Amino acid sequence: MSLKFISRAVLAVGLASVARAQPAATMPATTQAVVIDQSTPRAAVKTFILGMTSGDEAAMRAVLIAQNPLEQKLLDALIAQQVAIARFQVLSNATLGPGATRRLLGNVDRDRNAAIKALPREKEQISGDNATVGEDEQEETLVRRNGKWVMTLASMIPVACGASGTDEESINESANGMNIRAKIYSETADELKAGKYKTVAQVRRALESKSAKAADDGGPTTTQTVKSPPPADAEALARAQRDIETLKKTLTKKTSAELIAAFVPKGSQGYGSYEYFRDYMANLAIRAELAARGADARDALERHAKDATRIMEAVNGPGDTVGRICQQLLTALGKPGDSSRGG
C-alpha cells in the first residue's frame, strides 16, 4: 500500500461513506492518544497516519501545518471531519458492534495496520531541512521546522481536494464539504449514543438523508458521499499500480494532444475494482505528464480548455472535466511561452 494511497484514504475518509478516496481505511476502534514522534520524516508520516485515523487533534496539528489562511481553513475543516468520524466509529462499535462498523467503514484495523507495516519499506531521503518518504507519485514531502519534521498542507491539497481540485474555489468547496460531513457524522454519532439506530441499514439511511438535505440546502453534493463502498480489492490495486507504471512509459511518447485525448471518461467503474484504480490512476498519470511538459503543452491545453467531458476520478473528486484540468494546467503555466511539444 503506497504512501499517497494511504494519504488519499486518510484525507478523504469522510468523502465516500466514511472513506471516499481509496479503500475505506481509517478510524481505529479506540481513542487512545497518539504518541507524537517527529524525530525523523518517516516517524512524522507514521504520526500523520495514526493521528488522522484516530481523530487525534493534537497529533494532526503537530504534523500538518498551514502556511496561509486558505490552507488553515482547509486544515481546520479536515480536523473537524476526522474528529467527528472517529467519534462516530467509536459509538458505532459500542452500539452496533465492530462487525456492523466494518460494514459502514470498511476493515479499519487491517488497513491502518497495513499502512504502518509498509512504512519502514518506503524510501526516505533527507536533504538539509527537506525530505521525502516514498518515491515518484507515491512520495510524501516534508520539511523540518524547529527541529521537528512536518508535512505542509500545501503538499497534501491535491489529495485532500481530489485529483485536480487545487484552485481556491475547489479548496473552499472541499473545506465546506468537510465541515458539512463533520456535522453529519457528529449528529449521527449523538443519535447512535441515544439509541436511535439499531441496524446498519438505519444508519446508512440516516447518513444519506442528512447528506441529501445538506445538498438541498446549498452545500456540496454529498448524497453519494455517505453510501458505503464495498471493501477495496488490495490485489486489484496492486495490479493496477503495476499496469500504470507500464502506462507511464507509453505516455512519454505521445503528443500533448494525444495525452488529452487519452483521459479516461467517467463511467461505471465500480469502487475498489481493478478498473476503478486503473482508470483513476491513469488520469493522474496523464495529468502529471502534461504538467511535466510545461509550456510545451500550452497549445494543446488551450485547444481543449472548454472540453466538458467528465473524466474518471477518485470518488472524492470535484467532478473534473478535461477542460477544467486544461485550465488549471494553463493557470500553473502563467504567461505564454514556447509550446514546441504542444501536439
87 and 144 inside one domain: yes
If one counts every other C-beta atom within 10 angstroms of the C-beta of residue 201, the result is 11
Cβ–Cβ < 8 Å for 122, 36: no
Q: Report the pLDDT value the prediction gives residue 315, as an integer from 0 to 100.
A: 52
Mark which of 226, 255, 282 sits at the end of a domain.
Answer: 226
309 and 215 inside one domain: no
Is 339 inside a domain boundary?
Answer: no
145 and 86 inside one domain: yes
Mark which of 202, 226, 250 sits at the end of a domain.
Answer: 226
217 and 238 inside one domain: no
Q: How distant, in Å, are the alpha carbons of 12, 39, 58, 145 from that of 63?
A: 17, 11, 9, 10
Write out the residue range of the structural domain in which residue 141 sits: 3-226
Domains contained in the chain, number? 2
Is 265 inside a domain boundary?
Answer: yes
254 and 198 inside one domain: no
Q: Can you give the pLDDT of all 343 residues of the chain as single tens digits?
A: 444 544 544 554 433 333 333 333 334 444 567 899 999 999 999 998 888 888 888 888 999 888 888 888 888 988 888 888 889 989 999 999 988 888 887 666 777 787 788 888 888 999 999 998 887 656 788 999 989 999 887 766 665 555 435 577 778 888 888 889 889 999 999 999 999 999 999 998 888 888 878 766 655 544 334 444 444 456 777 788 889 889 999 999 999 999 999 999 987 666 667 887 788 889 888 988 998 888 899 999 999 999 999 888 765 455 678 998 898 888 877 766 444 444 5
In terms of Cα–Cα distance, which of 339, 256, 274 is closest to 312? 274
Is 342 inside a domain boundary?
Answer: no
In terms of Cα–Cα distance, which of 195, 159, 5, 190 is closest to 84? 190
111 and 172 inside one domain: yes
286 and 217 inside one domain: no
Q: Report the pLDDT value the prediction gives residue 20, as an integer from 0 to 100.
A: 32
pTM above 0.75, yes or no: no
208 and 251 inside one domain: no
148 and 168 inside one domain: yes
Mark which of 185, 208, 226 sits at the end of a domain.
Answer: 226
Q: Report the pLDDT value the prediction gives residue 129, as an integer from 0 to 100.
A: 94
Contacts of 263 (CB under 8 A, 6+ apart): 283, 286, 309, 311, 322, 325
Q: Report the pLDDT value the prediction gives residue 174, as an integer from 0 to 100.
A: 80
151 and 244 inside one domain: no
DSSP of 265-318: BP--PPTTSHHHHHHHHHHHHHHHHHHHHGGGGHHHHHHTTT---BB---TTS-
Q: Report the pLDDT value the prediction gives residue 281, as an integer from 0 to 100.
A: 83
Q: Report the pLDDT value the prediction gives residue 2, as an integer from 0 to 100.
A: 42
Joined grid coordinates for residue 7:
494519504
12 and 36 inside one domain: yes
Q: Which residues of 286-324 are buried (b: 16+ CB within 10 A; e: fewer)?
A: bbebbeebebbbbbbbeebbebeeebbbbbbbbebbbbb
52 and 186 inside one domain: yes
DSSP of 144-155: EETTEEEEEHHH
Q: Report the pLDDT value the prediction gives residue 299, as an integer from 0 to 100.
A: 93
Q: Report the pLDDT value the prediction gives residue 16, as an integer from 0 to 100.
A: 36
